[in-house]
Amino acid sequence: MSNKKHKVAIIGSGNIGTDLMIKILRHSDVLEMGMMVGIDPESDGLARASRMGVATTAEGIDGLIGSEIWPEIEFIFDATSAKAHVINNEKISQFPGKRVIDLTPAAIGPFMIPPVNFNELSDSANVNMVTCGGQATIPIVAAVSRVAKVYYGEIVASISSKSAGPGTRANIDEFTETTSHGIEKVGGAQRGKAIIVLNPAEPPLVMRDTVFTLSEMADKDAIRKSIQDMVIEVQKYVPGYRLHQEVQFEEITEPVFIEGVGHVTGLKTMVLLQVTGAGHYLPDYAGNLDIMTSAAKATAERMVQKWG
């Protein structure tokens, strides 16, 4: 593989876009910032990008497409909102060869969870990073699914209220719907459910995630090892991702009813996770934002490494 760096643009100059920009500038060997795109000329993100030597536009997607650097841009990260991404992607799709990595819950492209399904989606023109809760928890559901059939998967993502900006709050409904679908489509559960909690505690608490699965009966040691192996895979791009305590099991012998599945018995698995941010731009308690930007960056880098 050549030493050439591949130019990227980031749409959305808020916290997520700014953190992603700094990760690429400081920690990527294969990606290079081409432009930071916003809609508010006074935004801190655009000002910071300019100070760091990155070209900017406050004219949104039209400003990016109309810029001199547009022909050189290979990857576009969209860190705006679900509604804005629909418009942005429609315009970008008119230019063949551009890869879109969507950090909104729009879910136009297939769900991408790097350690689970990267290989099957590596040539997609648009991939969706699901949600912060999805990036943290769907790998765990998938880890159980590769050992035993999962009837039901439920996740509860608890994040600091301070780490939930206007975009996150505006997308709460999309968060639950998109994450639930991801638990099913990528995690492999027959039925999925997602809940998000905005914790107002002071000082702010780091991201905590709880994953419950109800599966057919299976070897507990095999499930435990599969989960531990998956945690190691996620840690390759999110070092602050870890098990908060040992995996817990409970045998369910009385049938329980799951909508869309029916009455089942089996093995309940509970996994408690903690995600501490890397602190590149955002505070370390904002692990929910850090895991999104880290997963998006890892996806683009792996695409480059696979396809050049």
Please state, in angstroms and rounded to a whole number, the distance separating the CA atoms of residues 105 and 168: 10
8-22, 155-169, 219-233, 256-270: the lowest-pLDDT one: 155-169
Please state, in angstroms and rounded to a whole number, the distance separating the CA atoms of residues 308 and 305: 6
pLDDT at residue 17 is higher than 70: yes
Cβ atoms of 151 and 189 within 8 Å: the answer is yes
Catalytic pick from 132, 227, 278, 295?
A: 132
- pLDDT at residue 308 in the model: 67
**CATH code of 24's domain:** 3.40.50.720
* 233, part of any domain: yes
Of residues 169 and 140, the one with the higher pLDDT is 140
pLDDT at residue 263 is higher than 80: yes
85 and 156 in a single domain? The answer is no
Helix axes 132-145 and 114-121, enclosed angle (nearest 10): 90
What the block records as the tokens of 100 is 């879109």
Cβ atoms of 165 and 260 within 8 Å: the answer is no
pLDDT at residue 1 is higher than 70: no
Cβ atoms of 38 and 57 within 8 Å: the answer is yes
Enter the pTM of the model.
Answer: 0.95
Number of domains in the chain: 2
Selection from 163, 130, 179, 158 nearest residue 14 by Cα: 163
Owner of token pair 């699901």: 130
One-letter amino acid of 13: S
116 and 191 in a single domain? The answer is no
220 has catalytic annotation: no
CA angle 82, 208, 106 (to 5 degrees): 10
208 and 259 in a single domain? The answer is yes
**CATH code of 176's domain:** 3.30.360.10
In the chain, % helix, strand, coil (3-state, to 5) comes to: 40, 30, 35
Query: Which range marks the domain in which residue 137 is found?
Result: 132-285
106 and 229 in a single domain? The answer is no
* 217, part of any domain: yes
pLDDT at residue 305 is higher than 70: yes
Please state, in angstroms and rounded to a whole number, the distance separating the CA atoms of residues 301 and 308: 10
pLDDT at residue 166 is higher than 50: yes
- Widest CA span of the chain, in angstroms? 65
- pLDDT at residue 2 in the model: 53
Cβ atoms of 206 and 136 within 8 Å: the answer is no
CA angle 57, 59, 63 (to 5 degrees): 70
Q: Work out whether strand 55-57 and strand 31-37 pair parallel, antiparallel, or are unpaired.
A: parallel
Q: What percent of the chain has pLDDT over 70?
A: 99
- pLDDT at residue 170 in the model: 77
DSSP E strand stretches across 108-149: 126-128
Mean pLDDT of the chain: 95
pLDDT at residue 175 is higher than 90: no
Please state, in angstroms and rounded to a whole number, the distance separating the CA atoms of residues 44 and 42: 6
Q: Note the pLDDT tens digit of each residue in 29-44.
A: 999 999 999 999 999 9
What the block records as the tokens of 305 is 């490494």
189 and 44 in a single domain? The answer is no
CA angle 239, 232, 125 (to 5 degrees): 80
Q: What percent of the chain has pLDDT over 90?
A: 90
What the block records as the tokens of 129 is 């990073």
Q: Work out whether strand 75-78 and strand 6-11 pair parallel, antiparallel, or are unpaired.
A: parallel
Q: Note the pLDDT tens digit of each residue in 80-136.
A: 988 999 999 999 999 999 999 999 888 899 999 999 999 999 999 999 999 999 999
Q: Phi first, then psi: give them for residue 304, nearest 5 degrees.
A: -65, -45
276 and 142 in a single domain? The answer is yes
162 and 217 in a single domain? The answer is yes
